[in-house]
């Protein structure tokens, strides 16, 4: 709700990436309770360092906590901190998701390339690269990563990524999961064992974290529905 020159935000959000280190967050908030469905939403920028916000890290199977649950209890932000227009938050949010799933992955792919290089390095150290099946899989991973890059670059020509972003999300999320699985093959049978104190190495964390790739940022099922309805003209499931 609006209180003078500020928006007052109350609510809850699960799976907020890096909320524990963020200074600001995007909040898609209902600013007009009388408007129908998404027509009454606004896209707000909210400062995280204030008494009205509580952050609870969610410990994952990797032992890390990149995701968090955030509680807003009367959190405040200036009425000037609206991206776009008041009541137009749904359109802005969809554009944000489009960039997250598509062009924004150009930066993410730098990390992907480093991870692939590490997997190849371990494959050489352990002799797994001498296995023609493993060598073929590593080669295909390198080729596919180049395809991901060119796909993201093509989307730079689009002011507002649409269905192309969903295609990109399907491609990179599945690629990253395959890399995690390949990392376990390269590491060998002891990849299923944690260290003496339960610690995990880099490749084990890679494998476990990539299980989430097909869920966050819009699940694979959502992306396929977008492609089916908006590109292929199929009826909604």
State the CB neighbour count (10 A cutoff) for residue 94: 14
Catalytically active residues are 100
- Residue showing tokens 């999961």: 177
Please compute, for residue 214, the number of CA atoms within 13 A of its CA located in the half-sphere on the CB side. Answer: 14
User: Could you give the CA distance from residue 180 to residue 204 in angstroms, rounded to a whole number?
Assistant: 8
The answer to whether 62 and 205 have CB atoms below 8 angstroms apart is yes
Under the phi-then-psi rule, with left for phi > 0, alpha for psi from -120 to 50, and beta for the rest, what region is 68? beta
- Beta strands 82-83 and 41-47, pairing class: antiparallel
The Cα–Cα gap between 84 and 119 comes to 43
DSSP code per residue over 78-138: ETT-EESSTT-HHHHHHHHHHHHHTTTHHHHHHHHHHHHHHHHHHHHHHTGGGSHHHHHHH
User: Sheet harboring 24-30: ordered strands across?
Assistant: 24-30, 41-47, 82-83
């Amino acid at each position: 709700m609006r209180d003078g020159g500020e928006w007052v935000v109350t609510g809850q959000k699960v799976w907020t990436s890096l909320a524990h280190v963020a200074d600001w967050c995007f909040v898609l908030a209902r600013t007009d309770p009388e408007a129908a469905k998404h027509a009454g939403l606004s896209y707000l920028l909210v400062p995280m360092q204030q008494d009205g916000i509580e952050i609870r890290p969610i410990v994952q199977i990797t032992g890390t906590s990149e995701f968090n649950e955030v509680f807003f209890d009367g959190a405040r932000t200036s009425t000037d901190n609206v991206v776009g227009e008041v009541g137009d938050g749904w359109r802005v949010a969809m554009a944000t998701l489009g960039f997250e799933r598509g062009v924004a992955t150009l930066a993410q792919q730098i990390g992907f390339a480093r991870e692939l290089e590490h997997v190849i390095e371990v494959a050489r150290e352990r002799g797994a690269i001498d296995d023609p099946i493993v060598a073929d899989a590593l080669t295909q991973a390198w080729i596919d990563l180049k395809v991901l890059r060119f796909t993201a670059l093509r989307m730079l020509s689009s002011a507002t990524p649409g269905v192309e972003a969903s295609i990109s999300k399907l491609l990179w999320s599945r690629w990253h999961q395959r890399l995690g699985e390949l990392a376990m093959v390269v590491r060998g049978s002891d990849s299923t064992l944690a260290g003496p104190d339960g610690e995990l190495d880099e490749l084990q964390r890679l494998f476990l974290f990539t299980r989430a790739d097909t869920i966050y940022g819009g699940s694979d099922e959502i992306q396929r529905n977008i492609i089916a309805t908006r590109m292929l003209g199929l009826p909604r499931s």
